[in-house]
Amino acid sequence: MTLTPTVAVIGAGISGLTTLKMLEDYGIEAVGFEASDRIGGNWAFDNPNGSSSAYRSLHIDTSKHQLSFRDFPMPEEFPDFPHHTQIKQYLDSYAEAFDLLRLIEFETRVVHARRLPDGGWELTTERTGAAAGGGSGDAGRNESGSGAGGGTGDGGPTRETRRFDLLVVGNGHHWDPRFADFPGEFTGEMIHSHAYIDPWDPLHLMDKKILVVGIGNSAADIAVELSSKVMRNEVVISTRSSAWIVPKYIAGKPADKYFATLPYVPYSWQRKVIQAMQPMSAGTPEGYGLPKPNHKFFEAHPTQSVELPLRLGSGDVTAKGDIARLDGRTVDFADGTSDEFDVMIQATGYNTTFPFFDREFLSADDHNHVPLYKRMFSPGIDDLALVGFAQSTPTLFPFVEAQARLVAAWAAGLYRTPPVEEMRRVIVEDEKKYIGHMLDTPRHQQQVDYFLYEHDLRTKEIPQGLERARTHGADARVRMSA
């Protein structure tokens, strides 16, 4: 009888779905745990689990040509930059095509994950809502047959303890809002962009003076939407470091169709070429009213927007620098000017959070840094993998797909990580390669270039990991289940 490990996957967004699909391809028994009643994570608009940062008007900033999974292309009839409802439709089709829904326990939140002394995992899950059902207390049992200690028949939350050999974490990193910490206090209305749905939800944003803090893609989209003359707002966007704006189209085609990092040319050389070309394709930020960036192009994540430069150039949006102090409704800026605002929307990024782990076991630091080997493995924990914890340029879906493929090989005993000290050395080298030239901010702690990353996995890391597995045996110290 062939023995394979049991695997728990936390999350059913793109990371969890691709991981479940790849594990199924390798014949590995896996269970996905999803707190919501649906798949999609961040792309499930108005997700009941509160994890989605999608707003009503959101379109993807990466074109479908770069975003498609490699083994499941997006429909030809989709526009170049699909709406979030179409991305959700695409993920639903992916799950249906590979029969993934049967592997997922919905409305089931992992409230605690404990690594056992001899390896393997004990997960405490909580079922809520319709999923909690009206069990008699013995309907749910763990794999050893002992009682789940759960249902009372009143429809309330029920808890259950389960054991697995391996754990894959794919709970995402765009759901725990990170607020900027400015001196003083703002007494107007304030929300994070995570809570923003549209100009009427959760706040009524017409005839208001609005300050949008940040200049990422969400900040740009929200500032553009609220600055329409129809809304009768006065919109100011505040940025500490400013940003280089990249167009969505060049010569009539999606701009990212021209983008591919060459693995055999030094990365620094490629950046210099792109930095020289950027002003010719989109001009300089100062040209349409933004402060001068404190970094060169590709030393921070660029902002992709067609409309923000137009709104700035038309006077519909005004740009300011960093905030020096808050005093009631008055905002003092670093340039010495002040203004009063009714509303502040902070588009200031997200914390990387693992609410099911004890903080001393595994957590990001205050700067959002989590040292992971190949952005997946924590040195010394050989039965845990993390998927999707990166800011991948220019595309996320194929990046996650590449990670999931490696996870499946790892779970099947066809990949082994190197010794702990080598893992730590490579983490430092990779971080220098991918983020050493970037602004040292929480947003950029997980930056990778997809093309270089995928090439490294495919041509070096996976073959070397297979050789390590053949020489030294499977990576994880697992108790195989028959």
Tens digit of each residue's pLDDT (9 = 90 or more) over 423-453: 999 999 999 999 999 999 999 999 999 999 9
pLDDT value at residue 279 = 85
Give mean pLDDT, residues 209-215. 98
pLDDT value at residue 130 = 65
Q: Is the pLDDT at 152 greater than 60, yes or no?
A: no
Q: How far apart are CA 219 and CA 308, in angstroms?
A: 10
Give mean pLDDT, residues 400-413. 97
Instruction: DSSP letter for 186, please.
Output: E
* Predicted model pTM: 0.92
pLDDT value at residue 476 = 58
pLDDT value at residue 149 = 37
pLDDT value at residue 5 = 95
What sign results for the dihedral spanned by CA atoms 2, 8, 9, 12? Answer: positive
Query: Which tens digit of pLDDT belongs to each residue from 309-356?
Result: 999 999 999 999 999 999 999 999 999 999 999 999 999 999 999 999
DSSP reduced 3-state for 463: helix
pLDDT value at residue 154 = 54
- 179-348 sits in which CATH class? alpha beta
Q: Are 383 and 115 in contact (CB under 8 A)?
A: yes
Q: Is the pLDDT at 150 greater than 50, yes or no?
A: no
Q: Is the pLDDT at 382 greater than 50, yes or no?
A: yes
* 193 φ, ψ (degrees, to nearest 5): -60, -25
Q: Are 315 and 289 in contact (CB under 8 A)?
A: no
**DSSP characters for 101-157?**
GGGEETTEEEEEEEE-TTS-EEEEEEE-GGGGTT--SSS-B-TTS-B-----SSS--
Query: Which tens digit of pLDDT belongs to each residue from 43-102?
Result: 999 999 999 999 999 999 999 999 999 999 999 999 999 999 999 999 999 999 999 999
Pairing of strands 158-164, 121-127: antiparallel
Give the pair of three-digit tokens for residue 267.
Answer: 């990365």
Q: ω before 355 within 30° of 0 (cis)?
A: no
Residue 353, judged by CB atoms within 10 A of its CB (0-12, 13-18, 19+), counts as middle
Per domain, the residue ranges of the chain are 6-120+165-174+351-472, 179-348
Query: Which tens digit of pLDDT belongs to each residue from 246-283?
Result: 999 999 999 999 989 999 999 999 999 999 988 888 88
Higher pLDDT, 140 or 336: 336
pLDDT value at residue 151 = 44
Query: Is 1.10.10.10 the CATH classification of the domain at 6-120+165-174+351-472?
Result: no
Given this chain, do its domains 6-120+165-174+351-472 and 179-348 carry the same CATH topology?
yes
Instruction: DSSP letter for 373, please.
Output: B
Q: Is the pLDDT at 305 greater than 90, yes or no?
A: yes
Q: Is the pLDDT at 127 greater than 50, yes or no?
A: yes
